[in-house]
Structure formats: structure tokens, C-alpha cells
Amino acid sequence: MAMFDKTFPTLDCAACILTPKMVSVGQHEMIRLLTRSKVVAVSGKPGSYRVKIRQSARFVDIKSCVACNQCTEVCPVKVKSEFDAGISLRKAIYIPFPQAVPNAYLVDEKSCTYILSEGKKCGVCVKKCPKECINLNEKDHITDIEVGNIILATGYELLDVSTIEQYGYGTFPNVLTSIEFERLTNASGTTGGRIVTKTKQFSKKLNKDEWVFSPEGVPPRSVALIHCVGSRNKKYNPYCSRVCCMYSLKFAHLIKEKVPNANVYEFYIDMRAFGKGYEEFAERIKQEGTFVVRGHSASVSVVDGQMAVRGEDIFNDRLVEFKVDMIVLAVGLIPSPGTEELSRMLGIQRDSDGWFSELDYNGSPTDTDRGGIFVAGMCQAPKDIPDTVAQASAVAAGVLGSLTSGKGIGHMSSVTLSEIEARAKTIHTI
């Protein structure tokens, strides 16, 4: 959510909603925040789990760092920014984004010259730091904790859209994924929120021209938004990713708002505007002048030096082709990396699509068959922000219930049918 510009359908500022909550967590005296950490082992039983955590070195003391930015200014290494979805660059010593918690820098050991050369090169950030809080020789360490409950909120990942060759992602420079466009239109992004097409610039590092986004770039005259890229498709993801329709409609609004004269084409299969105010938002987009086309978009090609989107228009029973300067792909969602490993470690089941399985979809949507372990958010299935917040609140209530009562649900997967029947008879007697 921190990567988003606006949230649908109210168009509220995502950072304005999230940042105060992040700060509250970071400053809470009873919350211990472990960054760059990975769970490596879990043992025990509900109410008494032993969790082993490997905390990777940050190489910067978060208590001493004041985020003065002097280390980043002198760092010579530039790599693609994960937070900006690769459309901008960051340094080897960096802060993920301005509102990050904790508000301290860290070193990327995979790109730091000093670490890669085992101390033989660079290290200029250490000399420049006025607080002397950088230690490039810091090592990872293991932490063991005991907990009563575990909440899984491991999120999601985007499908690798380069495997869907018909849309030309990776071939045509101005074909973007949804998250790349999200960062492009964000005020804190590489162009300051301006929606522009990529331009060629000479890269000294690569010694050749490279397509990049520049604040001085040219706004697109026409944009195509393509839904269901890898979703509802047996070849990739047979399920609906749920959020794609609405964020694509949000993109259409933002384009019309920032580039009023641009033509916007929205290709969809079925419009799934299911939430409160969603259908009204969909109608609003049409009134703003977005050309909405129902039907599959077949392919992207270059015609007379310009990209062209070919597809079908079911309502008018015809094939259509629109020339555009930019294409935004609503990419399907998949479970985050490490979900399978975590599932084995915790003994939590996953469904056929790889998401964590809940105990009962209708009756216990946040519990699992392992007592004291809950699921919240996208790790259980694709869902939007309001549904995620509701599920997270339910999990919090479940954890508080186990803490106040001193009781929790045991390991449900080991309960036999005869035991369930015996318990039901006892309840019936009462």
C-alpha cells in the first residue's frame, strides 16, 4: 500500500492513511520490529511456539542513524529501486522510501562494493558518516523467541508478465505493469507524479542508450489499459485477482486528470466492481471520457512506428485496433516467494493455487487448522484494502481472545470425526 498513489474508489492518499499507522507501530513500547528478518524454524504448540529468526545485517545502527543522507550522496553504486518497481535507481546504501520505518539507512550487500570485495574497495560511506553508525563488517544473527500466536500476512507477488509474449512486455519500452505505472504516477516517484513516456538516454554504466523515465519526458497522447493479464486463464492463473478491474479504472481517472487530452482505452472481459461505491466509480470513468471496450485484447504490435492494440469489441461484434503511446497491463497476482517453504515449516495447508488455506471460508476465514496461527490479507487470497483491513481486525480480535482467556484452538487437522461427534453431543447436552 505504501507504493500506491491513490486508493479506489475514494481516491484517498494511500501514504496519508498508512504512514501514521507505521509510525505508531515503530514507536510503540510493546512492539519489537525486526527488519530484514526471516523465520527459519518453528516448533512447539499453540500458546507456546518457539520461533527461530535470522536477522540479516543492516550494516547501519538504527539507533544512531539520523537519516542525514550524506552516505547516499557519496555512494558510487546505483542499482534499480525495488520500491519504484525498477523504473528508477537507488544507491547501495539507501532508505527504501521517505516514510520507511525505522527511519534509518541500510546497505544492500548484493551491490555494495566494499562487501563484495571483502573490504578491498570503496567504504567511502563509512568515512563520510558524521554519526559513525555504519559497520560494513556486521554479521547476521539468530534470534529465538517464544510466542503464543502467529499471524501470517506475507502478501503477494505479481505474475512474471514477460512469459506472456503477446503483450510485448520487455520488448516495447512503453508497455508497463500495473505497479510500474503506480510508481510513475506517484508524486514521490521518479517523475514527481508526471505521466510521461520513456525516452532514450545514454548510460555510462552500460555504454549504450537506455529507455528511461525522465521528468522532462513527453506525456502520452493515448493509453491502453488491459485487464486480466494472466488472470482467469487456465494457462497461467485460473482465478480472478479481484483488484485489477478497480485499479485499472483508477488509472484511467488519473490519466484523464493529469493528461486531459489523452485518449484512454480500457479493455476488459467482465467488470467486477463488487464493493461499496465501486460500480458508481466504474460509471464515473465512462463519463470522464474513457473508451471502455468489452472483449479480449489479442496482441500488441508496432504499426507505422507506433504501438497498436488489437482486440475484440463484443458489444459491437467487431475487431478493433487502437494506436497508443503507452500500455498498462493489469497483471495477475500470485503468492509471495517463500510461501511454500513457510507452509511446510508451520504445517499450514495451501489451496490448489498456492495461497494459504483458512480453516473454514465461511465460518472461520482467518483461522487455520493449526491452533494459534492466523492468516490475514493477500496471503490467503487476492483481496482489496478494505477486505484486508477487515480480516486483520478479525485476526487481532482472535489473538486478544486467546490472550485474555488463556485458551486457544488446538491443532484441528489431527481431530478425528469421532472426536468431533463426541464434542457435539456434549455441547448438545449442555
- Per the domain annotation, does 164 fall within a domain? yes
Structure confidence at residue 426 (pLDDT): 76
Please tell me whether residues 235 and 300 are part of one structural domain. Answer: yes
Q: 102 and 191: one domain? A: no
Residues 320 and 198 in one domain: yes
* CA 130/CA 322 separation, integer angstroms: 56
Q: What single-letter DSSP state applies at residue 358?
A: P
Q: How confident is the model at residue 409 (pLDDT cuts 50, 70, 90)?
A: low
In a domain, 48, yes or no: no
Instruction: Give a yes or no: residue 1 inside a domain.
Output: no
What pLDDT does residue 296 have? 83
Do 198 and 327 lie in a common domain? yes
Say if residue 97 is in the same domain as residue 189: no
Q: Do 290 and 186 lie in a common domain?
A: yes
Evaluate the CA torsion angle 227, 232, 237, 242 in order and state its sign.
positive
H helical segments located in 237-384: 244-258, 278-287, 339-346
Q: Could you tell me if 253 and 191 lie in one domain? A: yes
For 274, residues 6+ apart whose C-beta sits below 8 A from its C-beta are none
Kindly state whether residue 408 falls inside one of the protein's structural domains: no
- Domain-located, residue 372: no
> Do residue 119 and residue 204 come from a single domain?
no
Residue 407: which pLDDT band, with cuts at 50, 70 and 90? Answer: low
**Nine-digit cell at 370?**
493449526
Q: What is the pLDDT of residues 32-75, one digit of tens each?
A: 999 999 999 999 998 899 999 999 999 999 999 999 999 999 99
pLDDT at 412: 61
Q: Domain with 93 in it: what CATH number?
A: 3.30.70
pLDDT tens per residue across span 327-364: 999 999 999 999 999 999 999 999 999 999 999 999 99
User: What is the C-alpha to C-alpha distance for residues 249 and 9, in angstroms, rounded to an integer?
Assistant: 9
- DSSP category for residue 212: E
Long-range contacts of 126-129, Cβ-Cβ distance < 8 Å, separation of 24 or more = 128/70, 128/71, 128/73, 128/74, 129/70, 129/71
Give the CATH number of the domain where residue 292 resides: 3.50.50.60
Q: Are 104 and 67 in contact (CB under 8 A)?
A: yes
The domain boundary residue, chosen from 316, 334, 352 = 334
> pLDDT at position 207, please?
72
**326 phi-psi bin (left φ>0, alpha ψ -120 to 50, beta other):** beta
Residues 132 and 174 in one domain: no
Stated length of the chain = 430
**Burial class of residue 173 (count of CB atoms within 10 Å of its CB; 0-12, 13-18, 19+):** middle
Residue that finishes a domain, picked among 334, 356, 391: 334
Q: At what angle are helices 244-258 and 278-287 packed, to 10 degrees?
A: 40
Q: What is the per-residue pLDDT across 355-400, written as a single tens digit (0 to 9) for each? A: 999 999 999 999 999 999 999 999 999 999 999 999 999 999 999 9
Is 44 among the domain residues?
no
- At which of 334, 368, 400 does a domain end? 334
Q: Using 50, 70 and 90 to split pLDDT, how confident is the model at 154? A: very high
Q: Chain-wide mean pLDDT for the chain?
A: 93
What is the rounded distance in angstroms from the CA atom of residue 254 to the CA atom of residue 69? 32
> Quick one: 92 and 208 in the same domain?
no
The reply to whether 209 falls in a domain is yes
Question: What pLDDT shows up at residue 415?
Answer: 64
pLDDT of the residue at 414: 61
Phi then psi for residue 255, to 5 deg, are -65, -45
Domain span at residue 110 reads 57-139
Contact 137, 109 (CB under 8 A): no
Dihedrals φ, ψ of 160, to 5°?
Answer: -70, 100
Does 425 have pLDDT greater than 90?
no
Mean pLDDT on 129-149: 96
Distance CA 287, CA 284 (A): 5
Same domain, 135 and 163: no
